[in-house]
Structure 1
Amino acid sequence: TMMNHRRRSNNFTYVSSCVKYMIFMLNFVFWLFGGLLIGVGLYAFVDKWQATGSVRVENVYDVVLNISLVMLIAGGVVFVVSFAGCVGALRENTCLLKFYSLCLLVFFLLEMGVAIVGFVFPHTLQSLLEESFTDKIIQTYREDPDLQNFIDFGQQEFKCCGLSQEGYLDWGKNEYFNCTSPSVERCGVPFSCCINATDISSGLVNIMCGYKVQMLPVSEASKKVWTSGCIEIVRSWAERNLYTIAGIALGIALSQLFVIYLAKTLEGQIELQKSRWHS
């Protein structure tokens, strides 16, 4: 009986396999997702590199507005952090688990910061975004096909044109749509600004529907194109759906805190187990 008792007490562990494999499985899914993001981002980046011969990365804006680079960076971060969570849980490595929960805490605090600024100062955030990004995005519209598709999608979905308070007149900052431009598109706006871009009879997109719109006063222009800037439209859309957005944000925040709690629990259990071995 003495032997049996000793064998059973040696097999006893403070480390809950439920917590351990929960962290492992959760991070394994995110690890795969991070890998997928890296793959897609890399494919898009190489594709653009081959198409244009160069990718400009001179300042923060070039990185933020390059969709493939954003995917690569986000994928890389997710990949590394979830890998630390996976291996840390599986190998019961407290060092990796500490790194993992610290990263989650940093993400959590950053998200809280953005959320607070968005909820408390929506107009300040709007003008900040308008000042920072309007010129850059409008100017690079024709240079970056990914960004161009993204802007067209945004303008069609949110029924807006341009980015700032200027609305459709923002497009005057683009060298192709500028009124002094030698191009046929001068004084125009992209087709994605048009209220009826698709020709009903042929089902094709009329690319010329936005030509010469900048010459018209708002009352005339608003019959042909959306005239409000996208950042303002998105802000008012967010205000209308405030409870839904807040609910989702809260859900994400709480689940992050729960995972941090799990990682900390596992860490504590491993420490207990180690002290038991040393004693």
Structure 2
Amino acid sequence: MSPREQAYRERAVAPAPSSSRRRRIPEGFTYISSCVKYTMFFFNFLFWMCGLLLIAVGIYATLDKWSNGEVFNLKTIYDVMFNIGFLFIIIGGVVCIVSFAGCIGSLRENMFLLKFYSFCLLIFFLAEMTLMALAFIYPHKLTEFLENELSEKLIASYRDDLDFQNLIDLVQQDFECCGISSNGYRDWSKNEYFNCTTKEDNPSVERCGVPYSCCHKEPNDVLVNFMCGFEVQEMKEVEDVVRKINTEGCIPAIQALIEGNLYPVGGIAIGIALSQLFVIWLSRTLEGQIESQKSLWTIQ
């Protein structure tokens, strides 16, 4: 047998190198980054606490109304939207569930919870982008919906819920507006307490008036004049109305404010979108690291 044939036979019968010799893995090595893991845990823990706080505030508001004998009318989606207590409970519940999945999923390295968390965040992000795109492409349709459908429900429900009433008053005072749509203060004729029907049909003392939050703010006034908006809808001269109350609707006022501060608003929107994408990236990165770690256990 020639030396070449003998060497070939020795290579053929030689044992294959072991897996430990093929790949040497340091003891204690892990693909999972502690920075990614605990960053996700920290932020989701904060959001989880915020969700619990919203639920607690919503439950307190609901129980307070129930103890005062208020009747809850939740027949339509608008009834839920305009009930601040129930709205807080729903929003807080969603935030609490999703952030809890991210918090425990990252801490325990649970793939099911992490996939559920990243899927929910992706759905929220796509829904926000879809709404923004529709608002940008069809701005008149959005304004028409807000002024026709939503404004009528908002005005009609003003006295039905004290928390909702305070919210509308706060918006009207802060944005110095009155009413919802481009009709301005005339929107309040849609409310049963402020409409200008006959005294037999509307015996309210607020007949033909508007809420006090429509009135101009006087810097030196300490006491609130709750009667300052009485009977303004009956005034014939527009100048008299303008001197007494704000006449512009809140939707046009907010639109004008956004258009006048387009760059800051756009920057805030981009910042929120980037933060959501960053959290989604963290979740997907941690999922990939867990998968790599599992494959490492299989090799070992």
Q: Is residue 2:223 matched to residue 1:204? A: yes
Instruction: Specify the alignment match of 2:178 in structure 1.
Output: 161
Larger Rg over CA atoms: 2
Structure 1: which 5+ runs fail to align?
A: 1-5
Helix, strand or coil for the counterpart of 2:196? coil
Cα 1:102/1:12, change in 2 over 3 Å? same
Task: Give deviations 1:155-176, integer Å, cap 9, x for gaps.
Answer: 1111111111211111111111
Helix, strand or coil for the counterpart of 1:71? helix
Instruction: Specify the alignment match of 2:233 in structure 1.
Output: 214
Following superposition, the deviation at residue 199 of structure 1 comes to 9.1
Given residue 212 of structure 1, which amino acid in structure 2 is its aligned partner?
Answer: E
Give the alignment's TM-score, normalised by structure 2. 0.86
Q: % of aligned pairs identical?
A: 56
Contact kept in structure 2, 1:187 and 1:211, CA below 8 Å: yes
Instruction: Specify the alignment match of 1:241 in structure 2.
Output: 261
Among 29, 37, 42, the residue aligned to 1:25: 42
Counterparts in 2 of 1:1-279, with a 5 A limit? 9-180=26-197, 181-196=202-217, 200=220, 203-217=222-236, 218-279=238-299
Following superposition, the deviation at residue 216 of structure 1 comes to 1.8
Give the alignment's TM-score, normalised by structure 1. 0.92
Contact kept in structure 2, 1:122 and 1:235, CA below 8 Å: no
Instruction: Specify the alignment match of 1:3 in structure 2.
Output: none
CA distance in 2, matches of 1:239, 1:52: 43
CA distance in 2, matches of 1:262, 1:199: 49
Following superposition, the deviation at residue 124 of structure 1 comes to 2.6
Following superposition, the deviation at residue 49 of structure 1 comes to 1.9
Task: Give deviations 1:40-87, integer Å, cap 9, x for gaps.
Answer: 111111111222332111010001111111111111111101110011
CA distance in 2, matches of 1:15, 1:190: 59
Following superposition, the deviation at residue 118 of structure 1 comes to 3.2
Following superposition, the deviation at residue 236 of structure 1 comes to 1.1
Helix, strand or coil for the counterpart of 1:188? coil
**Range 114-123 or range 53-62, more displaced:** 114-123
CA distance in 2, matches of 1:242, 1:115: 14
Given residue 63 of structure 1, which amino acid in structure 2 is its aligned partner?
Answer: V
Given residue 239 of structure 1, which amino acid in structure 2 is its aligned partner?
Answer: E
Given residue 79 of structure 1, which amino acid in structure 2 is its aligned partner?
Answer: C
Following superposition, the deviation at residue 152 of structure 1 comes to 0.8
Report which of the two has the higher share of helix.
1
How many residues end up aligned between the 2 structures? Answer: 273
- Say what the alpha-carbon RMSD is for the aligned residues: 1.9
